[in-house]
A and B are shown apart, each in its own frame.
Chain A
Amino acid sequence: MQKKNLSKKLDNNQIFRGSSALLLKRTDLRRRIIPLLVFLFWFNPLKIFAQENSDCFGCHDDKSLTGLKNGKTISVYISEKKFTRFVHGSVPCVGCHVDLKDAEFPHEDDLKPAKCGGCHQTEQEQHTKSLHGKAIARGDNLAPTCKTCHGSHEILPVKDPKSSVYPMKIPFLCARCHQEGTKVQTQRTIHQDHILENFSESIHGEGLLKKGLVVAPNCASCHTSHSILPHTDPASSIARKNIAATCTKCHVMIEEVHRKIIKGELWEKKSHNLPACIDCHQPHKIRKVFYDLGMANQDCMRCHQVESLKSSKDGRSLYVDLKQHELSIHNKIACSQCHSEVNASHIRPCETITNKVDCTSCHANVGDEYKQSTHGMLAAKKDPNAPVCSECHGTHEILGKKNPKSRTFPTNVPALCATCHREGEQAAVRYKGKEHSIIESYTESIHGKGLMKSGLTVTATCTGCHTAHRELPHANEKSSINPKNVAATCGTCHHGIQEQFEKSIHSSTISNSKNLPSCNDCHSAHKIKRADSEGFKLHIMDQCGRCHVDIAKTYFDTYHGKVSQLGYTKTAKCYDCHGAHDILAISNPESHLSRKNVLKTCQKCHEGATRKFAGYFTHATHHDPQKYPILFWTFWGMTGLLIGTFVLAGIHTLLWLPRSLQWKRELAKRLKNKEKLIDETEEPENKEEDGQNT
């Protein structure tokens, strides 16, 4: 405090007002006593005078007054005029600033926190025991003191709408610390998130903040103002044991409407296992969607257990087999939780239903995915072919995907998708792409066999690649089967291969080409075969040849290519030399065909191969005089020899043919003449011989 200012104030001689009862009925006395009192004030060893507020404001009413706190200069100005208007206007300063009681003025810097507990003893005790109080005791600098919520000198009554603890302001007051991004939320363990958002969207928040109902609960209504404790503390207002009491502070008549719990079977049979309010009405998210009014399943079943029950609109059966529902994964979910538009105040509670069941009220994330998918987009367009949740998952009988009887259990997924995607069914009819006989192909594929024959539920099913709820056509960039994403999709199982592939020349991370293959370009989408099957080994070369047209053609001109063309795989195929998923440019030293590695690659089959051996042209063609002049000229030399020989020999033969025919007749004639001659001279002997021969 600045002494100069203080001495000026003292000169004004206004400081003895509060303790003047004894004093001065006579001016003479006054004349004698005043100096004494001044003396006593300044040199008062007994501290007999209590300070009055005016003593404090003597200094603190000055706007320019500053002080030090924790080494920082702060304003210590307090308007006397204002202070007196606030709720503590008549309370002496030292009543709160107890450490200043009997202190010398001007007092030292760095006061202790004001003591509220002197008057507010109960609140102080509650706060000390509370979560916040314990945090203060631990020395947590984020822990709130009285001042944090209530303010210091300018405290207003709770009922004053300007008060920081006015009911409508409490959510924002608490949110100063309990909000996303605050130090408390990020540095301390808080089990709830988006508290303010959730609260303001909840029915309570709506009542309080939108409809201005000050009676609607705010944070303090449930958590209490000062006894804030974690729900794990049995003394907490939000402990499981106490929550009902907390809620029924307002919801006094809740028993009348919560009949399933209070009057239903559960009450009688499972009284030890009663759900707490928050089991259904999540903290901070208390919404209207569940239990607009209490509805027990048996209320619904009164009508829906009748097997002949039919819709008056379209005649479909409205019979519900409750036993199926009890076996389903939703067996703990009541009818009205899904059929949320029911109104228990109606004789037929369901007559208020206008929309179909919205699964996304619980399965929100799945719903968001579904809306982005082709299925969801078609459904949004009200396309009759679009599958909705129930078409795949069923309705009342829904089982979890881990249940082998479930329609969505891996082994059942292909059949489920096939109901629409089999050739001739609605989805297959709409489809204009290249993939056909999808189901049949899949069944014969390695994945299909793995699933159906080997019973491997970890194998890729339809949903494994297409996702369960976010399926999109491959052209869509967000699709799991978009060329950009295929490697990652396959990589969810074939991770090692994905790693190799992403380093290869076929990966977009390495190569700039637009026409890069993804897994399915070589392996196909639905016909995927074992990579070690003969058929695949031969087929894969055609796949390489689809892009590498010329180089594949020249390969088939070599011994390797010819043998594979005959249908045998025990010869060098594309991937034997180039690698499969780890193909690199030949210029890359790590390539299987780099100068460093090529010999080793040849030696995989040709053990005795030498460096010269590797000079063999594996993609030789004799049709390219620029690239392979030796082969070109050898071929044409040999072909020239061949054509020359055949032309000459052919002419010789053709010329010979007519002469030869002529000669044949000549020969026959001559032989006949000779025979005649012989016959005439040696007839008897000849006849004898003939006889012997026959």
Chain B
Amino acid sequence: MDRIHKEEQILRFSRLNRGLHIVMIISFISLSLTGMSLKFSYTSWAVALSHFFGGYEATGSIHRFAASVMVLVFITHIIDITRIKRKEVGSWKTMIFGKDSMLFNKKDLEDFIGSLKWFLGKGERPEYGRWTYWEKFDYFAVFWGVFVIGSTGFMLWFPEFFTRFLPGWFINVATIIHSDEALLATGFIFTVHFFNTHLRPEKFPMDIVIFTGRMPLEEFKIDRPQEYRELLEKGELENYLVEDYPPIVIRTIKIFGWTALSLGFFIVIWIIYAMIFAYR
């Protein structure tokens, strides 16, 4: 009990993953702002933003740079996965079908049904494990997004190259897909993801676990009872117990978090405004 109390934080995310997430946030918000400024070019906001970024060419360059960063984040993550598989898991089979797999499994279905029951007052809160189903959904949304937006994005980046073997109207199709999928991604991240992770009352106003990588053990026990139980059973709990960051780090993280949240909200409001009040 002594140690538990002393080091009440439990480590949930590796340093690399936290880093990747921060980079991805910056990249994603940059992509959103620059991309939306073109998509909603008919709004005064878009014009102002475009000028803020230094003109449409600079905006485009930022967009492409951020996209490249995003792709690098994605590749880094894939490499990290293979490293984890090699060092910690052993085989792709356990990686995919194991207990802590990012892939949807039977427990996720049970948790989803359990959650709905809980929402409707017909059951207790499910005992969520290492990854909840909505976290897995968000995770694969990124995979989907990077694939769809990334591939169409490359077509728009190099239309002369792609039309060597594709008809010209593919560029039109790519534009629609790129633009609407981006709208879906930003809309989803800045509303659903924000709520799921930050804005739901027990985490409000934000959950900084993705930046610190750690959360109070007591909270962890209640939030992820199954994972806690398993860690205890395996006797691995102590491996993950760490000290909290000093307040200055926390404050910095919170400032960053607030900035990201605010930008996200701004983009959402802007999208709604553009689509409802200024659509043409």
Residues of A whose CB lies within 8 Å of any CB of B are 553, 556, 558-559, 561-563, 565-568, 570-571, 606-610, 612-617, 620, 622, 628, 630-631, 634-635, 638-639, 641-642, 645-646, 649-650, 652-653, 655-661, 663-664, 667, 670-671, 674, 678, 681-682, 685-686, 689
Contact = CB atoms under 8 A, between A and B. Distances in A.
Given A570-B57, A612-B168, A682 B188 contact: no
B5 A678 contact: yes
Given A562-B39, A566-B50, A606-B160, A616 B169 contact: yes
Contacts of A613: 159-160, 163, 168
Given A635-B180, A653-B192, A653-B195, A566 B47 contact: yes
Given A556-B42, A653-B196, A664 B168 contact: no
Name the prevailing secondary structure of the A interface residues.
helix
Interface stretch (B73-81, B89-97, B114-122, B258-266): B114-122
Contacts of A609: 160, 163
24 contacts: A561-B41, A563-B38, A567-B51, A568-B57, A608-B160, A617-B168, A617-B169, A617-B172, A622-B176, A630-B172, A631-B173, A641-B181, A642-B187, A645-B184, A650-B192, A652-B134, A655-B119, A655-B120, A660-B200, A660-B202, A663-B202, A664-B201, A674-B218, A685-B2
Contacts of A561: 41
A691 to B, nearest CB: 15
B183 interface: yes
Nearest 4 pairs of A and B residues by beta carbon: A615-B168, A638-B180, A608-B160, A655-B119
Among B1, B119, B165, B167, the most chain A Cβ lie within 10 Å of the Cβ of: B119
A631 B167 CA distance: 13
A638 B165 CA distance: 24
Given A642-B183, A659-B125, A670-B222, 20 more contacts: A553-B280, A562-B41, A563-B38, A566-B47, A566-B56, A609-B160, A612-B163, A617-B168, A617-B172, A631-B172, A631-B176, A635-B176, A642-B184, A649-B188, A650-B192, A652-B134, A657-B200, A657-B201, A660-B200, A686-B5
B55 interface: yes
A613 to B, nearest CB: 4
B82 interface: no
A550 to B, nearest CB: 13
Interface of B: 1-2, 5-6, 37-39, 41-42, 46-47, 50-51, 55-57, 115-116, 118-121, 125, 134, 156, 159-161, 163-169, 171-173, 175-177, 180-181, 183-184, 187-188, 191-192, 195-196, 200-202, 204, 218-219, 222-223, 280
Contacts of B47: 565-567
A211 to B, nearest CB: 83
A642 B222 CA distance: 34
B180 A642 contact: yes
Contacts of B195: 653, 656
Contact of B201 (A556, A642, A660): A660
B163 A565 contact: no
Contact of A667 (B134, B160, B202): B202
B172 A620 contact: yes
B167 A612 contact: yes
Given A566-B47, A568-B56, A570-B57, A615 B222 contact: no
A596 B213 CA distance: 62
Given A610-B164, A638-B180, A655-B119, A562 B38 contact: yes
Contacts of B5: 678, 682, 686
B148 to A, nearest CB: 10
A622 B175 CA distance: 11
A445 B50 CA distance: 29
Among A613, A650, A682, the most chain B Cβ lie within 10 Å of the Cβ of: A613
Given A613-B168, A630-B169, A663 B201 contact: yes
B250 to A, nearest CB: 14
Contacts of B192: 646, 649-650, 652-653
A671 B222 contact: yes
A603 to B, nearest CB: 10
Contact of A630 (B116, B156, B173): B173
Contacts of B56: 563, 566, 568, 570-571
B181 A638 contact: yes
Contact of A559 (B118, B175, B222): B175
Among B6, B118, B176, B187, the most chain A Cβ lie within 10 Å of the Cβ of: B176
A571 B41 CA distance: 14
A614 B187 contact: no
Given A606-B159, A634-B173, A659-B119, A559 B38 contact: yes
Contacts of B177: 634, 638
Given A568-B56, A655-B119, A616 B180 contact: no
A650 B50 CA distance: 31
